[in-house]
Amino acid sequence: MFSKILIANRGEIALRVQRACREMGIATVAVHSTADADAMHVRLADESLCIGPPLARDSYLNMPALLSAALITGAEAIHPGYGFLSENADFAEMVEAHGLTFIGPSPTHIRMMGDKITAKTTMAELGVPLVPGSDGEVPDVEAAIEVARQIGCPVLVKAAAGGGGRGMKVARTLDEVAEAFSTARAEAAAAFGNNAVYIEKYLDRPRHIELQVLGDNYGKVVHFGERDCSLQRRHQKLLEEAGSPGITAAERTALGAIATQALEKFGYRNAGTLEFLYQEGQFAFIEMNTRLQVEHPVTEMVTGVDLVREQIRIAFGEPLGYDQSDVKVSGHAIECRITAEDPETFAPSPGTVTMFHAPGGLGVRLDSALYAGYRVPSHYDSLVAKLIVHGRTRPEAIARMRRALEEFAIAGIKTTIPLHLRILDDAGFQSGDYTIHWLEQFVAAHKV
Ligand code: ADP
């Protein structure tokens, strides 16, 4: 096994990876920007190095600095976490070119799935159903209008290189297509340096359901069930569940079979997530993420599998060592993403945490790098804690999450804890009968 791993990330996910390493007897190297010198991931690592100034592009996205840090400290592998360089095929290639192991999929597969048009074409060839839409890239306004006419409005113009919910524009009528196309294209060029866009039918009441997979280097792919990530604001996930309250065990099995067979055909390795929209009994693939997801803990809670440990084992060359039939999903898990934001206006709320009390008890897990006295920097993502609970049933998990959120005390910064409590108390949420549009409507209805 590796003896030392560098974790090219910060915050809760850097801690999460450290925890797996420590349990496996692997030494950890933390990297940090000057804004993160006091961060918990730095304090708890075996070694740490400063890799640059606060701006992410100068530090956490600074490839030469990260590679130097790995070489100086004698790390044998790099875990990228999520975000930052986790889906950067060039970085994965550079890591390998320096004789180190990138803990993730092959650069070829990262590149293939990083372009959503290629991802969709590949999946379609392998028999995975897609959301109806354009056949690849849409080159100009005329072509966009023609596609919209064929599939019918509303349509969604999406950036091929899109991510994080950016670069997407809805056209509700044919008259809106030209503007949606131009705006999406300009945004895509500015945000991703790639102006390629494609068009999908805009589904009016889908659920977002995604499937967690792991593949080893020997052609075997196993899935770990689904997560329901329909509760989103501005296409960003806020609360996730495993399993989905909207699909049956038979649908899970069928989806799992289609997905794992497809991935085995192209030899996918390490962790990945296939994202689908689900409406009227039909699954339609939208994209694949070639990395660990923020919401991976809900899957860990219902399967008992440490996904980061598995990623490290696979990267080292170990076989999965178990079959699909060995993966058991039991009970129900919920994750609340807690951000340093005003729970009503979503205005960022960086600052110093003056008091911190973590919830606990049976079935409660907290993934957070906060501590009393810590100053939340303004330079990075506003996620400060993920609270995850497991219960034997969904109602038990909801009751447990309510209880844990009430116990959770963070003073000095505003957080979204009150919003999560309101969601959990809502009969619509409790019924489990929600779509990707539910949360936006809920937030609008509860504005004060
Ligand atoms: P990103 O990579 O930016 O996260 P995705 O393609 O995963 O983009 O889409 C993010 C979210 O946008 C989805 O979870 C869903 O809520 C919404 N979305 C994407 N495609 C469609 C579609 N065709 N119809 C309706 N909603 C969509």
pLDDT digits (tens, 9 = 90+) for 192-207: 999 999 999 999 999 9
Residue 191 amino acid letter: A
Q: Is 180 found in the same domain as 61?
A: no
pLDDT in tens, 373-400: 999 999 999 999 999 999 999 999 999 9
Residue 126 inside a domain? The answer is no
Q: Is 328 found in the same domain as 373?
A: yes
Residue with CA nearest ligand 1 atom 7:
287
Domain that holds residue 185: 132-201
pLDDT in tens, 279-333: 999 999 999 999 999 999 999 999 999 999 999 999 999 999 999 999 999 999 9
Pairing outcome for strands 47-52 and 27-33: parallel
Q: What Rg do the C-alpha atoms of the chain give, in angstroms?
A: 21
Mean pLDDT calculated for residue range 425-430:
97
Residue for token digits 């099995």? 253
Determine whether the shortest distance from the Cβ of 83 to ligand 1 is under 6 A: no
Report the CATH number at residue 166. 3.30.1490.20
Mean pLDDT calculated for residue range 351-360:
98
Q: Which two tokens stand for residue 435?
A: 């779509």
Which one of 277, 285, 438, 440 would you pick to mutate in the ligand 1 pocket, going by the greatest count of ligand atoms within 8 A of its CB?
Answer: 277
Q: Is 244 found in the same domain as 196?
A: no
Q: Is 346 found in the same domain as 330?
A: yes
Mean pLDDT calculated for residue range 25-49:
98
Residue 29 pLDDT exceeds 80: yes
Residue with CA nearest ligand 1 atom 17:
235
| pTM metric for this prediction | 0.97
Q: How many CA atoms lie within 13 A of 141 on its CB side?
A: 10
Q: Is 186 found in the same domain as 84?
A: no
Q: Is 410 found in the same domain as 270?
A: yes
Q: What is the pLDDT of residue 111?
A: 97
Q: Is 222 found in the same domain as 75?
A: no
Q: What is the pLDDT of residue 216?
A: 98
Residue 304 inside a domain? The answer is yes
Q: Is 196 found in the same domain as 73?
A: no
161, 183, 201 - which closes a domain: 201
Report the CATH number at residue 27. 3.40.50.20
Q: Is 228 found in the same domain as 375?
A: yes
Determine whether the shortest distance from the Cβ of 164 to ligand 1 is under 6 A: yes
Residue 364 inside a domain? The answer is yes
Q: CB within 8 A of 199, min separation 6: which ones?
A: 133, 134, 138, 144, 147, 148, 151, 155, 156, 157, 158
Q: Which residues form the catalytic set?
A: 291
Q: Is 248 found in the same domain as 185?
A: no
The count of structural domains within the chain is 3
51, 82, 103 - which closes a domain: 103
Q: What percentage of residues in the chain have a pLDDT greater than 90?
A: 98
What's the whole-number average pLDDT of the chain? 97
Q: Is 228 found in the same domain as 184?
A: no
Q: Is 383 found in the same domain as 308?
A: yes
pLDDT in tens, 241-286: 999 999 999 999 999 999 999 999 999 999 999 999 999 999 999 9
152, 173, 201 - which closes a domain: 201
Determine whether the shortest distance from the Cβ of 436 to ligand 1 is under 6 A: yes
How many angstroms separate the CA atoms of 361 and 364, rounded? Answer: 6
Report the CATH number at residue 315. 3.30.470.20
Determine whether the shortest distance from the Cβ of 232 to ligand 1 is under 6 A: yes
Question: What's the gap in Å between 286 CA and the centre of ligand 1?
Answer: 7
